[in-house]
Amino acid sequence: MITSYLTHPALAQHDMGHHHPEAPMRLEAIRARLMLSGLLQQTMQSEPVPVTRAQLERVHAPAYLDRLATHLPESGLYEIDSDTRLCPDSLKAAALASGAAVRGVDLVCRQRADNVFCAVRPPGHHAEHQLAMGFCFYNNVAVAAAQALAIHGIERLAILDFDVHQGNGTVDIFRDDPAVLVCSSYQQGFYPWRYLDGDWDNIVNTPLAAGTDGKVFRQAIERDWLPALEAHRPQLILLSSGFDAHRDDPLGQLMLDHEDFHWITTLAMDVARRHANGRLVSILEGGYHPQALPLSVEAHLQALLGQAYHP
């Protein structure tokens, strides 16, 4: 089993200000934990190159991309909304994050890795076709999906989004696209309050009540996602991997544990083996507790490496 680990030191240059939860230390905490456990050394590590404008335009409006570039400050911060701010290096980091997603797809589709984890920031699943929000500028998983469809001959793929927040940007970009099945679990009645209602054949929403634990979460995923995945028969699995559904995360009230992230990763890998020759790319989304995040990613990576969960 070859698991590729993609990240880049310049991702730390995106900084939305003091006390912002989406902070540069997130990736350093992950790296430190994976080094300590020895898991990082078991992966094939490499760095991405920035995404191209043409790759971004597959999922984002050109005028939106121009507007982001226009707002990029020479110093300080430009506030898009109360949660989402540009610093001088934000789009450089965002381009590398989406570039990692593209490289991940290229690696698995060219059989150079079995699966990939993209340890990247800023996250992407709230970024809509022409709207930045929720800490997100470029929709990394959508860019990855578009790369698979445009370049690698993939006809059907699935995006599995487990996060305390719904992946509204991914829904916005792919609703009514029969090639892309989007399954999203999230805390019910919670941010972003968009696309929670809607009837699209390719969108599977799994809202979870505040306080939902791992047992109920697993039952809901098996009930909602597995029938849709078996019907869709995806040739590639993409994961929007959000670890802010952890019980200790400060941004939500779901009660998942590290082992639940190992479980859902294993489930996704089982689907990938049945339908996609094992091809799977995971892209980091949420996760904001400095201790819970790296431990959750450790459990996730154990599953990607084909290992049983062990704390």
Percent of the chain whose pLDDT exceeds 90? 97
**Distance of alpha carbon 80 from alpha carbon 140, whole angstroms:** 19
**What pLDDT is stored for residue 198 in this prediction?**
82
Q: What is the pLDDT of residues 37-77, one digit of tens each?
A: 999 999 999 999 999 999 999 999 999 999 999 999 999 99
- Is 262 a catalytic site residue? no
Return the pLDDT at 61. 98
CB 196 within 8 A of CB 205: yes
Burial of 13: CB neighbours in 10 Å, binned 0-12, 13-18, 19+: middle
Q: Is 58 exposed, middle or buried (0-12, 13-18, 19+ CB in 10 A)?
A: middle
Is the full-model pTM beyond 0.95? yes
pLDDT of 180: 99
Burial environment of residue 82 by CB neighbours within 10 A (0 to 12, 13 to 18, 19 or more)? exposed
Q: Which of 60, 126, 246, 258 is catalytic?
A: 126
CA–CA distance from 90 to each of 68, 121, 138 (Å)? 10, 10, 11
Strand partners, 126: none
